[in-house]
Amino acid sequence: MQRRKFVRTAGIGTAAVAATGALAAPAIAQSAPELKWRMASSFPKSLDTIFGSGELFTKYVSDATDGKFQIRLFAAGEIVPGLQVADAVQNGTVEMGHTASYYYVGKDLTFALDCAVPFGLNARQQDAWWNWGGGRQAMNDFFKDYNIHSIPCGNTGAQMGGWFRKEIKTVEDLKGLKFRVSGFAGEVLTKLGVVPQQIAGGDIYPALEKGTIDAAEWVGPYDDQKLGFNKVAPYYYYPGWWEAGPQLSAYVNLAKWAELPKSYQAIIEAAAAKAHTSMLSKYDAQNPKAVRELVGAGTKLLPFSPQILEACYNATNDLFAQLNEKNPKWKKIFESWKPFRAEEVLWFRVAENTMDNFMARQSAANKL
């Protein structure tokens, strides 16, 4: 409806419109401060999914404030390396960061619960834990020690298990393997003889190409195809048991967060939520085509053997038990997270997995 027609239909006279014009403008446009912030990303610009969700986030914030709150996004390496985003936010080098919390398990393995742990929650379950299972409060209580306020800002969905230069058939094949793998998974795989490598996304291809590493995981077909990993490693394994639903985070310097008007805090939360759902839906839309193209170009798509998955699961549980004994911060969160996971898996078995398994059988029989 055009504005003039609306005014006539509503019976509002010109004088009344003039008298109430100030009230008609959104309150935020009249009283909100003009701010210019910087946001450091852990990801390269070439990835329109992960880096792109950061771009969407900053656009939403600008649009919602009529341009009064500008957040400029910087790719990995433009201000700080991708794996130093948490430090940059903590010390105030930048006001915000877009990153994956499991990059910082070297500080404390508890960071991983904000993103993903092996054999953990899928994307929907992670959202449920964060929003309704106490995750938001628990994690931000933890982040206070790092001068960070964390907000979900993306999820990739279940990831792939990585690209390998040779076949991995047994647990013995893992021994001595130099594997670019992030976060908690590296701690687990160390128990099985793997030599984990922490390498930022933009540096993985040359490391694989030169043979500096034997294998690497990143995300899934859509992003992995863009980065060209299929050109330097022929074997593509699944599932990424360490990343069933890894959550990306918008980090805000805690002191800067406290200074923001409540309206701006709400806008940041809403913009992050929009970017969050956009990322996951884009991956779900793009991955099927990408995996078909990869296989068509010669990629060998292979599952990890049940033996390997069982060994990794047992090693994960051993590590969980060790952390419960040694790390009170971990234990405080994990003791509520673990029963939440059990309940979620039980519920998903009833309807979700039953339906998915039936449809998978139809797909295998070419009935879709």
Helix (H, G, I), strand (E, B) or coil at 20: coil
Other CB atoms within a 10 A radius of the CB of residue 187 amount to 21
- Residue 29, pLDDT score: 53
The pTM of this model reads 0.89
Sheet holding 69-74, edge to edge: 69-74, 35-41, 96-100, 247-253, 148-155
Residues forming beta bridges with residue 39, ordered by sequence position: 73, 96
Domains of the chain, start order: 35-156+245-285 (3.40.190.170)
One digit per residue, pLDDT tens: the chain, 368 residues? 443 443 343 343 433 333 333 333 355 556 789 999 999 999 999 999 999 999 999 999 999 999 999 999 999 999 999 999 999 999 999 999 999 999 999 999 999 999 999 999 999 999 999 999 999 999 999 999 999 999 999 999 999 999 999 999 999 999 999 999 977 899 999 999 999 998 888 899 999 999 999 999 999 999 999 999 999 999 999 999 999 999 999 999 999 999 999 999 999 999 999 999 999 999 999 999 999 999 999 999 999 999 999 999 999 999 999 999 999 999 999 999 999 999 999 999 999 999 999 999 999 999 99
CB 43 within 8 A of CB 158: no
- Residue 336, pLDDT score: 97
Dist CA 186 CA 103 (whole Å): 11
What the block records as the tokens of 199 is: 């390498």
Strand boundaries in 42-146, DSSP class E = 69-74, 96-100
What the block records as the tokens of 127 is: 């959202």
Dist CA 189 CA 174 (whole Å): 8
CB 154 within 8 A of CB 53: yes
